[in-house]
Amino acid sequence: MPASEFSLIYRYFSGLGRGDAVDLSVGDDCAILRLAEGERLATSVDTMVSGVHFPEDCFPEDVGFRALAVAASDLAAMGARPLACTVALTLPEADELWLHAFSEGLAAAVSAFKLPLVGGDTTRGPLTISVQVMGALPLDMALLRGGARVGDTVCVSGTLGDAAAALAVLEGKWQPRPADAEFLLARYHRPTPRIALGTRLLGHASAAIDISDGLLADAGHVAAASGVKLVIDPALLPISPALRTYPDAGQVTRWALTGGDDYELCFCLGADQPLPAGCTAIGRVEVGEGVDCGLDVDFAAGYQHF
Ligand code: ADP
Ligand code: MG
């Protein structure tokens, strides 16, 4: 990009880079982060393409917030302590209004999740945002997908299905009461990565994953990695009061089982471990493979939202 556009990037993205672990931030060839003695780096990257991972008419504030929230969710799922993030931005044009709003949303997420923005890249092309997150883990600990043991309880944080229902609202397929619509849309646009829960579960949960593709799909990854079967009782799924107002209970269950974008954690606890606040036990780990929810769920229905 030309120099003037770089000065724009500088204006909007160079002021979010301060943090405890940051020795050098935006402005040089690399950022430099500091790990404490006895820690190792956990890192992950997520890309969001306009029109694929979010609707083209999303507010840029929400695009900025959500891009970092979604990436941060992977740190939560590992139990990592947030260190910093970098953002690679591909923009069709250097639209200052868009950049200003995007950086406001990003700044809100940077501060909410304690992930200072320490670098990035800026290119021209179809609107695409890649966010890399970095976190710290003790040398001998991590929440992995592969540790679930027969007899463990399967748990989830928060409520499920809200983000999938929000997409139905955005598509004009359902008009909930205004307060419920507001709640559901915020669940989609402003997801809450469960970072504090992740660090609390570290050393206590046997396995964990964040729910980005839907509970059944993501629980399936835990089952496969652990070599066990996860048995989930659909009657136990935590459903928000807003989602409960949807007239078709079967669809609500389908959204909770197969809808993506909730960014809650699904984790397994041994019998001696207490259930953390805000979490729900939804099933158990058995001998076998795959995920059994006792229903013949039509995955396609979940993804198409009707
Ligand atoms: P290089 O050519 O060495 O990759 P760049 O010219 O791409 O450097 O970027 C200059 C500085 O600005 C670097 O420190 C880079 O991390 C930062 N930067 C570029 N784009 C962004 C962005 N979208 N968000 C945050 N920092 C950025
Ligand atoms: Mg570069």
Which ligand has the shortest distance to the CA of 89?
Answer: 1
Question: H-helix or E-strand containing 34?
Answer: none
List, for residues 118-148, the tens digit of each pLDDT value: 999 999 999 999 999 999 999 999 999 999 9
Among 10, 26, 117, 118, residue to substitute to test ligand 1 (most atoms within 8 Å of Cβ): 26
Considering the chain, what percentage of its residues have pLDDT values greater than 90?
Answer: 88
- Tokens encoding 142: 């991590």
CA–CA gap between residue 98 and residue 299 (Å, rounded):
36
* Minimal-distance CA residue to ligand 1 atom 1: 29
Burial class (CB in 10 A: 0-12, 13-18, 19+), 177: exposed
- Residue 297 has a pLDDT of 74
CA of residue 55 to ligand 2 center, whole Å: 27
Positive/negative CA dihedral, 268, 272, 275, 280: positive
CA–CA gap between residue 279 and residue 186 (Å, rounded):
20
List, for residues 31-60, the tens digit of each pLDDT value: 999 999 999 999 999 999 999 998 888 999
